[in-house]
């Protein structure tokens, strides 16, 4: 799919005749961060699941680091472009972290295309969140180290992302460092490196969403870990309060992650949410 000179690579699971679920991943993360087994679980539940690589990740178009010629609005339009490329007029949309913010933009920019909305481990867009708790002190300290990483160096990049995966993990389950490293190496190889993905931290746009969350008409499910160190649970609660009729699923002890031991609860909630529409 090509939109505003970007090629966006996507992958599907399940029967194309089933209701479509579009998955939008977060900053610096390719589609692989939506685990294939979770996608197949959702497809087995009767959905046509689509995941895709955001710009500057995976196999989608990449730009020189430090100069992203696109905005959050473009990324929201990319999501709709993916639907167009699969001939889908209306889909259920789920976003994780920054992807959850993009999903909110999609619901505001293209309301007729969104059948329902699920926002995971994210924060409300277009509203003042300065009164909400900030990142944990330990995560702030960890993330500051990203400035010292040579992202063009394979080992440095992979090592930092492994440390990041540990830093965002919750407290309910042990962290599988070997598994995380193997996955991140796979993602690095498929993506050809993570250097361009750092552009995600320099994006602008999205200003036309200010004060508009109450306009979202798609029924909203918010899924949020109670031990999320990036967006504490209060961010999910604030989003629920801002959008009429929204519902919150708390993942007890969950971090900023899609931990496999939480997949039954996450997939079950998403499927129930979509079936209720």
> Is residue 102 within 8 Å of 42, Cβ to Cβ?
no
Domain of 124: which CATH number? Answer: 3.40.50.1820
> Is residue 191 within 8 Å of 151, Cβ to Cβ?
no
Residue among 242, 249, 18, 12 nearest 115 (CA):
18
- Domain of residue 145: give its range: 2-275
pLDDT value for 3: 45
CA distances, 37 to each of 18, 43, 150 (Å): 18, 10, 32
Cβ-in-10-Å burial (0-12, 13-18, 19+) of 107 comes to buried
| The pTM of the whole model exceeds 0.95 | yes
For the chain, the straight-line distance linking the first and the last C-alpha, in angstroms and rounded, comes to: 29
pLDDT value for 5: 72
pLDDT in tens, the chain (277 residues): 544 579 999 999 999 999 999 999 999 999 999 999 999 999 999 999 999 999 999 999 999 999 899 999 999 999 999 999 999 999 999 999 999 999 999 999 999 999 999 999 999 999 999 999 999 999 999 999 999 999 999 999 999 999 999 999 999 999 999 999 999 999 999 999 999 999 999 998 888 899 999 999 999 999 999 999 999 999 999 999 999 999 999 999 999 999 999 999 999 999 999 999 9
Catalytic-labelled residue, pool 73, 74, 77, 228: 228
Write the DSSP assignment of 154-204 as a string of letters. HHHHHHHHHHHHHHH--SSS---HHHHHHHHHHHHHHHT-STGGGGGGG--
Tell me the torsion sign for CA atoms 13, 19, 21, 22: positive
Catalytic-labelled residue, pool 105, 235, 256, 259: 256
> Is residue 226 within 8 Å of 234, Cβ to Cβ?
no
The C-alpha atoms of residue 262 and residue 157 are separated, in whole angstroms, by: 27
Question: Residue 228 catalytic?
Answer: yes
Copy the structure tokens of residue 117: 């909305």
Q: What is the DSSP letter of 196?
A: G
Catalytic-labelled residue, pool 10, 30, 97, 209: 97
For the chain, the domain total comes to 1
Q: What angle do CA 264, 268, 273 make, to 5 degrees?
A: 155
Taken as a whole, the chain contains a residue count of 277
């Amino acid at each position: 799919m090509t939109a505003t000179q970007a090629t966006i690579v996507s992958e599907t699971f399940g029967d194309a005749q089933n209701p479509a679920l579009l998955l939008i991943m977060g900053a610096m993360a390719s589609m692989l961060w939506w685990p294939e087994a979770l996608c197949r679980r959702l497809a087995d539940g009767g959905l046509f699941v689509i995941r895709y690589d955001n710009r500057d990740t995976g196999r989608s178009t990449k730009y020189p680091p430090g100069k992203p010629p696109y905005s959050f609005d473009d990324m929201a339009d990319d999501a709709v472009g993916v639907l167009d490329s699969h001939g889908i007029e209306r889909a259920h949309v789920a976003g994780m972290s920054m992807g959850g913010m993009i999903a909110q933009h999609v619901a505001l920019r293209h309301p007729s295309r969104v059948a329902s909305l699920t926002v995971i481990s994210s924060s409300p867009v277009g509203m003042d969140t300065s009164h909400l708790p900030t990142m944990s002190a330990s995560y702030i300290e960890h993330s500051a180290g990203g400035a010292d990483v040579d992202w063009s160096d394979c080992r440095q990049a992979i090592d930092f992302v492994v440390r990041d995966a540990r830093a965002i993990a919750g407290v309910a389950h042990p962290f599988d460092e070997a598994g995380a490293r193997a996955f991140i190496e796979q993602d690095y190889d498929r993506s050809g490196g993570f250097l361009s993905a750092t552009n995600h931290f320099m994006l602008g746009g999205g200003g036309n969403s200010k004060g508009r969350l109450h306009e979202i008409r798609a029924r909203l499910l918010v899924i949020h870990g109670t031990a999320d160190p990036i967006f504490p649970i209060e961010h999910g609660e604030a989003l629920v309060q801002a959008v009429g009729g929204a519902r919150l699923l708390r993942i007890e002890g969950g971090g900023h992650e899609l931990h496999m031991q939480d997949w039954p609860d996450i997939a079950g909630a998403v499927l129930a949410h979509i079936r209720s529409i």
